[in-house]
Amino acid sequence: MTRIRVPGDKSISHRALMLAALGRGTSRVRGILQSADIEATARVLRALGATIPPLDASELVIEGVGLRGLQPPSVPLDCANSGTTARLVAGIVAGAGFDAEFVGDASLSRRPMGRVAAPLRAMGIEVTRPEHGGLPMRLHRGSVQGVTWRPAVASAQVKSAVLLAGLVGNVPVEVQEPVPTRDHTERMLQARGVDLRVEGDTVSLLPAARLDAADVDVPGDPSSAAFIAGLAALGALRREVRIENVDVNPWRVGGFRALRRMGALLRYEDEALQGGEPVATVVCGPGALQGISIAPEEVPSLIDELPLLAVVAARAAGETRVTGAAELRVKESDRIAAVVSGLRAVGVYAEELPDGFVVRGSDRPLTGRVVTHGDHRIAMAFGVLGAVPGNAITVDDPSCCAVSWPSFWDDLQRLTHD
């Protein structure tokens, strides 16, 4: 049986750096994801006066400056390609009352920031953005007020921005979600002594005098692990694979549930709690794959895995239909269009829906070149499909995987030749 560990969870890595910077005392972060997106968060926190060491150490030792210890930035906050950096740090900056400009690369600059600007405005912060609604975005100096925010679209990033604004601004906040989203921010704040309560779809945070430092062991990213699980489900590996120390937070494992419904072998072993997060070894293998329907209520728990599920569907019997996933159109690329055009380019029937896609499986060899639009999840998904014996698929920009998994291609090569 093959064993592998995937890179540290991206969502937890972002939050671990931010909360370590805001904590009072020494925090140790082990297993952090070393990628372009996490480098963006480290760079932005340094611009706000935090001392963040280089990310290439196995353990980062961070001396926090405290909830009121950040400094106004003297340069624009460059978030590169990281939407999580831009949206969560916007909450921190709003709470601190700083004047700051957020900038990013061409892809991030096109992505919507209105969902985070709206609650910050409701909290009394002036936010200016370009007409197209993306970056650059400027937050103007001011004092935040408490808010009860009811987003029209569920978003863990927006929820986290509001919670962080309340935390740093020392005001009470409440977020009433239309459907639950990933709860890493809530778990990590509670572990640091913050009075945060979750009741049904409502998350409430009361003012905190301080944020305790805490050590973090970052578990493996389930979104990255899903690519290995998909590889195993498609029969591209010679044996079962054990993906060790994976975060199996219930709001993050919809991709695993979908693979299981499609017929893949997938089970958890060695389940445990690690810093408030459930972790497990995920054991994966091939199965007789069948197409499935993915309903809107499932989408928040597998939004990042949908490109992978689309390529698995290309080898499943029958039709796979995804609806309620319009959010895919405003990711690093229009992932609905990118998935459908990529599948068509290699000979698979696929069609776009306004809020999803339809894929009909094929058992014939698939060949062709896929345009990734610089999107790491598109590149990795078609890398997985290309690794299936008999297929010959290339992608135009393999380097874009550095956003979340810099060693993806090396790991893929090792796994498929093990």
Using CA atoms, how far apart are residues 230 and 117, in angstroms rounded to an integer?
Answer: 36
Residues 210-216, mean pLDDT to the nearest whole number: 95
Token pair listed for 220 = 């493996």
* CA 182 remoteness from chain centre: 10
Q: Which one of 3.40.630.30, 3.30.465.10, 3.65.10.10, 1.10.10.10 gives the CATH number of domain 223-416? A: 3.65.10.10
Of 53, 131, 122, 120, the residue nearest 89 (C-alpha): 120
Give the model's pLDDT for residue 94: 99
Give the residue extent of every domain in the chain. 9-200+211-217, 223-416
pLDDT digits (tens, 9 = 90+) for 329-359: 999 999 999 999 999 999 999 999 999 999 9
Residue 335 assigned ligand-binding role: yes
Using CA atoms, how far apart are residues 358 and 323, in angstroms rounded to an integer?
Answer: 9
Residue 24 assigned ligand-binding role: no
Please name the residues in contact with 410: beta carbons below 8 A apart, sequence gap of 6 or more: none
> What pLDDT band is residue 132 in, cutting at 50, 70 and 90?
confident
> What pLDDT band is residue 234 in, cutting at 50, 70 and 90?
very high
Residue 377 assigned ligand-binding role: yes
Give the model's pLDDT for residue 378: 99
Residue 407 assigned ligand-binding role: no
Residue 157 assigned ligand-binding role: yes
Q: What value does the mean pLDDT of the chain take?
A: 97
SS3 (DSSP) at 268: strand
Fold of the domain built from segment(s) 9-200+211-217: UDP-n-acetylglucosamine1-carboxyvinyl-transferase; Chain (3.65.10)
Using CA atoms, how far apart are residues 286 and 57, in angstroms rounded to an integer?
Answer: 36
What single-letter amino acid sits at 1?
Answer: M
With tokens 């009741």, the residue in question is 199
> What pLDDT band is residue 150 in, cutting at 50, 70 and 90?
very high
> What pLDDT band is residue 96 in, cutting at 50, 70 and 90?
very high
Residue 187 assigned ligand-binding role: no
> What pLDDT band is residue 238 in, cutting at 50, 70 and 90?
confident
Backbone angles phi, psi at 370, to 5 degrees: -110, 135
Q: 61, 28 in Cβ contact below 8 A?
A: yes
> What pLDDT band is residue 223 in, cutting at 50, 70 and 90?
very high
Give the model's pLDDT for residue 68: 96
pLDDT digits (tens, 9 = 90+) for 289-318: 999 999 999 999 999 999 999 999 999 999
In the annotation, is 397 catalytic?
Answer: no
Give the model's pLDDT for residue 167: 98
pLDDT of 126 over the 90 cut = yes
pLDDT of 418 over the 90 cut = no
Q: 188, 247 in Cβ contact below 8 A?
A: no
Using CA atoms, how far apart are residues 204 and 68, in angstroms rounded to an integer?
Answer: 21
Residue 10 assigned ligand-binding role: yes
Name the pairing type of β-strands 241-247 and 277-285: antiparallel
Burial status of residue 152 (CB atoms within 10 A of its CB: 0-12, 13-18, 19 or more): exposed
Give the model's pLDDT for residue 185: 98
Residue 11 assigned ligand-binding role: yes
Using CA atoms, how far apart are residues 199 and 352, in angstroms rounded to an integer?
Answer: 37
% of residues, the chain, pLDDT over 90: 95
Residue 68 assigned ligand-binding role: no
> What pLDDT band is residue 370 in, cutting at 50, 70 and 90?
very high
Give the model's pLDDT for residue 240: 94
How many CB atoms within 10 Å of residue 53?
14
Give the model's pLDDT for residue 379: 99
Catalytic residue, candidates 37, 78, 247, 304: 304
> What pLDDT band is residue 1 in, cutting at 50, 70 and 90?
confident
Please name the residues in contact with 349: beta carbons below 8 A apart, sequence gap of 6 or more: 343, 359, 360, 362
Domains 9-200+211-217 and 223-416 in one fold: yes
Of 3, 10, 41, the residue nearest 406 (C-alpha): 10
Give the model's pLDDT for residue 246: 99
pLDDT of 73 over the 80 cut = yes
